[in-house]
Amino acid sequence: AAGEKDEVPFAIILGGDELKEGRVTVKEQKWEFVDGKKVKVESTDKGTKVKRSELIQWIKNTPTFKDWSSGKLIA
């Protein structure tokens, strides 16, 4: 998937419940090298519900975004 190839740091989920609530669910995704291959670190994190109107600011305030935007997450 493109998200895996490009190491996308966030997955945004917009299902029926989220639509009704005016929210999205955000899951942070982390990557590591295993036997020379990039794999997503499996997590039990169910994600965080965020108001759609606050999504961009919420993402920008995360340590994951700050590391990603500074290039620290690039392997």
Digit-by-digit pLDDT tens for the chain (75 residues) are 555 556 678 889 999 999 999 999 998 877 777 887 777 777 677 889 999 999 999 999 998 888 777 776 554
Instruction: Tell me which residue has tokens 């606050």.
Output: 54
Contact 29, 8 (CB under 8 A): yes
**In degrees to the nearest 10, what's the CA dihedral of 8, 39, 16, 48?**
-70
**Cα 30 from Cα 9, distance rounded (Å):** 6
**Cα 42 from Cα 23, distance rounded (Å):** 24
pTM, rounded to two decimals: 0.69
Strands 48-51 and 31-34: unpaired
